[in-house]
Structure formats: structure tokens, C-alpha cells
Amino acid sequence: MKLVFRRMLGGTGIVVFTLSLTQVTWAQSTSSDLTVLPAVEVSADAEPKPTDGYVAKKSFSATRTDTPLRDVPQSITVVTQDMIRDQNMLSLTDVVRYVPGVVASQGEGNRDAVIFRGNNSTGDFFVDGLRDDVQYYRDLYNIDRVEVLKGSNGMIFGRGGAGGVINRVTKEADWTPVREFTGQFGSFGHKRFTADIGQPINSMVSTRLNAMYEHSDSYRDGVELKRWGINPTATFMLSEKTKVVLSGEYFYDRRTADRGIPSYVNSGRPVDIDRSTFFGNPDDSPTHVDAWSLNSLIEHTFDSGIKLRNRTRYANYDKFYQNVFASGQATAEDATGTVSLGAYNDATKRENIFTQTDVLFKLDTWGIGHEFMTGVEYGRQVTDYSRNNGYFNNTSRSTKVSFLNPVTHTPITFRPDVSRDNHGVIEAIGVYAQDQITIIPQVKAVLGIRYDNFDATFVNNHSGEKVHSSDGLISPRVGLIYKPIEPLSIYGNYSLAYVPRAGDQLGSLSLSNKALKPEKFMNLELGAKWDIRPDLALTAALYQLDRSNVIATDPTDPGGTKSMLVDGQRARGAEIGLTGRITPQWSVMGGYGYTDAEITKNITGATKGAAVAQVPKHTVSVWNRYDFTSYLGLGLGVVHRSSIYASVDNTVLLPSYTRLDAAVFVQPHKNLRIQANIENLANVDYAASAHNNNNIMPGAPRIFRLTAIANF
């Protein structure tokens, strides 16, 4: 008899025991009495997966440690791979649609823009915990899950993270073979194809390749999209204690910059016109992005149990967009009405390198358990940015068109804007330490602090003017967790984050604001997380997020030219979320969010008491999937958003809306899945998002998409 132990290396952590009994002879048996038992293999999953259907078990980016979600004192929504697939998510706008407390902004038709608890951001986007903040539309073809962390996140992510962050976790090569191909067709000429191919080479090396191609038109006149991406990865298990992951990506995106429709001057509502109508000129509004990146992860665990981990990301971005768009409101609702148009283009070239090294270890002191995470992060961003302003007929910065015929073919000449032609260098060094303390089994604490030195230098390429600023940012986090029973956590949290004067996209530093303190964001949160069952999680949170050091005009200055800093904005709210399986056949994702966000002092562009732009007081979203059999399932979702103001002047109101989505899932063969998704099932006419009073994006009409997913 022999017992064989085999350790299968890789992310799955499978341990296989083989018991073989042969040639076993009892003293009084003959050869005819021998019984040969078949080999028995018993497998155990030594490392549980971070997700199970719609439920996420962990979020490593929240603490950078292996911590269950219910032990993280912060509101987090993890959008799993199953959710992404079932709802046919193609963008971050799709991702946040069912996330309480977070809504999508328009982003001027050329970039992701998200509002976290009343704070608009185009820069708080991360890949595997590292910054990815050039303004473009991100795809999900190579993404395993998306983590939406709400509240101030300066301690983990450094500068920014004011109201929240979005972290995309990429697919990684492991020792499970993958052969998946997807073809998708839909309304308005939509065509999309993806491939996910993973292959172990041997017990030490595994590879994976993700690729995507998409070409689609739009319900908006003259708008189209073409993009593709490729992302190879390789994982090396140099030993049971050392892991190396290398990956690279090239992403190509070409589309029409679409800024939607304007509002009426008098009525304070979006113009009443067919949602397909383009204001400006779609043929003269191109936008493109080329993004290259190289990424590495190195992990080593020493015999003492100390783990050393380094993540490094080098990225190079080439972004350009040009738009001819509505720069003013419509003067009337008939043929007498006119709309002002403007035009400009922007070019950004940015080279990023970020590297973070963490040291993790555990120890006990006088019966109290400690899990330490400490480290250092270095980042350098070099940006060349320029803008050209458009002149119609080579003379005027604007032109007027008829409200009923708003497309212009007037020749446009683009001339450099000498004030926006800059070369910028940002260097940031952060050091941080975190202790997750188990005081007693029922009481835990999370204490963390981070110091960042943020150094920014900008040079105007025309005037030679040089602007420099340096900020020292201290970002603490304090969380306390009480667990009356193991599946239930009640927590409180305090955290800070900062946005330096260089701004969300590092382009707003000037002589007038370089000496001003960074904007500060303080988040107080009280919440609970209850794993009703291992596959069903209920969360709830109450929060207050204060934004201070906002620029305001000094009321004591009779000339109105001096600025001062004030506590300018407060958001108070509540969030409830439910994800998982209500029954083995019924999966659900959704929640309710209440946000009361207002301007608390007169600031530049807004008065005290005004509602923060594009923040609904109420959002409700629920997605359901019910599997009638192993080969047939249905999905139904509802999204409700209350009315919002398009800008902080509170003159244009976007009405509330309720939208229904549906899906049918068919599995005719174990290796083939077919699904049909219908967005906006009732064909509701609504305003989906805005950038300001003049740029409001109409919601899409009823859209059909048919997807076939083949696995080999």
C-alpha cells in the first residue's frame, strides 16, 4: 500500500491525495481472493476563491491584506465576474448602475467620470491597486472583478480617493486551463468579440491571453465606436513561497466625442427633441486613446512568515479629443430658437510609473493579535498637455445654429491656447503603516496612517513660466469592528483624503492657487455587514463626508479678486446593499442609496444651500436572476434615480426616471451559453447623465444584445 501526496502549484491551491492499494494478500487468502480497489482521489480547495457567484468574500485592495469583507470597516461593493457577464457590462458606467451611493457623470463624452457620495472624479481609478488616471473609457474584457470602495481612501491609495475609488482586478494566469470565446451582436450595429485563453506550461509556469475587438454605431446620430485590446499574462511559481506575475496590455480606442443635448434657457429642463439629435458636428468630434502598460507582481513569504510584496506598473498614454458641441442653452422651443456652439481640442501624453512595496507579518502581544502591513510607494507622472481653441470661419469662438437643425458645417480653424500648453512632472513618495488588531475575538480595530510628499512642477511651453508646489499629506484611518456573532460585523470608521491643487487630472496648478492648501475630505461612517448565509450578504451604512479647503471669493475684498478657503460641501447619506443567492436558483444584486449633498458656504460658482450637482437624493436598483432549470434562466433589473441638478447653480433639473432591464439565459450544452439582454425594456425617455447645463446625455432607447459564450 502506498500513499502519494501531490501539491498542485498555482492560484487554485489544490491538494490531491492518491491512495493506491495493490497486491494486498492476507495470510489465508489465495490469488483468487484478492480484491483490487480503484485509485481514490480526494481534492480540497486550500484557498477559497474571493468570489462566489454574486457574492465577494474578500477585497484585498481595501486593506492590502487577506481580510474577509465583513471585517473591513468601510462600505465596499464588489461587482463580480458573474454580475459583469449576466448584466452584459461593457463599461464603468454599467458597473456603477447597480451600486448604491455611486452614480455616473457624463465626462464630456470622452472619459469615465463617477460621482462618489457627492464628489465627482475622473482620476480615482486603479488597476490591481495601482493608479490609472488618464481620462479615457475603460473596458472590462480582461477584468475578473471591480471593487468600488466608498468614503475617503487616502491611507491606502494616497492623494485623491476623496469620495471613493474604483479598482479593477485583472484576470491572472493560474493552473486552470481556460478556452473561452465570446461573440456579441446587438442594436445599432453593435459587434463585439472576446477571447480568454489560459494554459499551464508546467508546474511552475502558466500563461493567459485576453483579447477584445468591438465596432458599434449608436442611437446618437453620427456617433460610432471602435476599440480593441490585448493583454497577455504569465505566472511563475518559482517555489511554494515565491510567486511572480508579469503582464502587458495595449488598448486602442477610437470614438466620437458626444456631449449630448442642451437645456432651455427659460424652463430649466433638457430640450424636448429626439434623443438621437447631435448638437455640433459628429464628424468633427473625434477622440482617440492609445494606452500601453507593463505590470509586475512579486510575492515572497519567508520562513518566519513575513511576506514581501511588490507591485509595479509602467503606463504610457496618448489621448486626444476634439469636440464641436453645445456651449449655450436653447433660446426657444421652436424654429425661432437658437443654440450657441463652441469647439476645441485637447491632447495629453502621459508617462506613469508607480511601484509599491509592502511588508506583511503577524504577531501576538499579551494575548492581542496584530496583522501589520507597512510599505512605501513611489510614483512619477510626466505629462504634456495642450489645448487648441476653435474659431468658426476663422473669426469667432462661437456660432449659432437653429434649434431644429443643430448640426454645423461651418469651417473651423484651431489655434493654440497659450495658457494651456504645459509640461508637468509629478513625483509622489508615500510611506504607510497599518495594524489590524484582534483585541478579543469579538472586537477588532484597524489603525492606519500614511504620509505622502506630493511634488508638482509645471512649465508653460509658450511663456516659460514655471510653477512649483510641494504638499505633505497625512492621511489617517481608524476603524473599530464589533462582532456579536461571527457572521455579523458592526463598525465605525474615520478617514481623511486630500486632492492637491494640481487637481484631479494634474492640470489646474497656477500662480494663483499654488500656495493654497490641498482640498481635504473627511469621512465618518457607521455600518453593519451581515453574512446571512455564506452566499448571501446584507450591508448597511450611515455616513457624513465633509469637503473643506474649497476656494471661495473673500467677502472682505471690495475688488472681489482675493480668494480664501472654506468648508464648502457636506454629504450625508445612507446605503443598503444585498448580494448573493436568496435561494439556490435565485441570485440578486442591488440596494438603496440616500444622499443629501449641499454646498455649505458660498464658493466659486455656487451659493450656500445649493444642492451638489448630479447627486440624486434617492437611488434604488435591484437585479434578479432566476434559474428555472440548469439550462434556462431569466434576469430582471430595475433602476430608479430621483431628480438631479445638472450644475451647482441649480437652474436645470433632470427629472427622475425608472428603467427596466431584462435577460434570458440558455445553456443548450455544457460548453455553450447563449444570453439575450434587453436594456431599457419599457423604452423610457430619460436623461442619463450630465456635465453641465449645456451637456446632458439622453438615455439610450430599448437596446437588444445577443451573446454566445463558448468554452472548450
Mean pLDDT of the 29-33 span: 40
User: What does 106-146 look like in DSSP terms, one character per residue?
Assistant: -GGGTS--EEETTEEESS-EEETTEE--SSS----TTEEEE
342 and 439 belong to one structural domain:
yes
In a domain, 14, yes or no: yes
Last residue of a domain, one of 226, 256, 286: 256
- For residue 19, pLDDT over 90 is answered with no
The domain in which residue 181 lies consists of 173-256
In a domain, 640, yes or no: no
- For residue 514, pLDDT over 90 is answered with no
User: Which pLDDT tens digit goes with each residue over 211-223?
Assistant: 999 999 999 999 9
What is the C-alpha R_g of the chain?
27
In a domain, 409, yes or no: yes
Q: Which residues contact 266 (CB under 8 A, 6 or more apart)?
A: none
Q: Which residues contact 595 (CB under 8 A, 6 or more apart)?
A: 101, 117, 118, 571, 572, 573, 615, 616, 617, 619
283 and 245 belong to one structural domain:
no
Please name the helix (run of DSSP H) or strand (run of DSSP E) that holds residue 82, with its range, or none: helix 81-86
Residue type, 501: R
432 and 377 belong to one structural domain:
yes
279 and 423 belong to one structural domain:
yes
Q: How confident is the model at residue 59 (pLDDT cuts 50, 70, 90)?
A: confident
248 and 377 belong to one structural domain:
no
Q: Up-side HSE of residue 243: CA atoms within 13 Å toward CB?
A: 19
184 and 294 belong to one structural domain:
no
* Predicted local confidence at residue 500, as pLDDT: 86
Last residue of a domain, one of 47, 65, 84: 47
Q: Considering its fold, how many domains does the chain have in total?
A: 3
Q: Which of 22-36, 314-328, 551-565 is predicted least confidently?
A: 22-36
Distances (CA, A) of 2 to 21, 23, 31, 162, 611: 7, 11, 20, 60, 74
* Predicted local confidence at residue 14, as pLDDT: 38
Mean pLDDT of the 183-201 span: 97
279 and 382 belong to one structural domain:
yes
Last residue of a domain, one of 225, 256, 287: 256
User: Which pLDDT tens digit goes with each residue over 177-188?
Assistant: 999 999 999 999
439 and 330 belong to one structural domain:
yes
401 and 304 belong to one structural domain:
yes
* Predicted local confidence at residue 556, as pLDDT: 56
In a domain, 208, yes or no: yes
In a domain, 432, yes or no: yes
In a domain, 76, yes or no: no
In a domain, 343, yes or no: yes
User: Which pLDDT tens digit goes with each residue over 261-292?
Assistant: 999 988 889 999 999 999 999 999 999 999 99
- For residue 41, pLDDT over 60 is answered with no
Q: How confident is the model at residue 49 (pLDDT cuts 50, 70, 90)?
A: confident
241 and 376 belong to one structural domain:
no
* Predicted local confidence at residue 28, as pLDDT: 38
212 and 301 belong to one structural domain:
no
Using DSSP bridges, classify how beta strands 190-200 and 143-150 pair: parallel, antiparallel or unpaired: unpaired
In a domain, 287, yes or no: yes
308 and 243 belong to one structural domain:
no
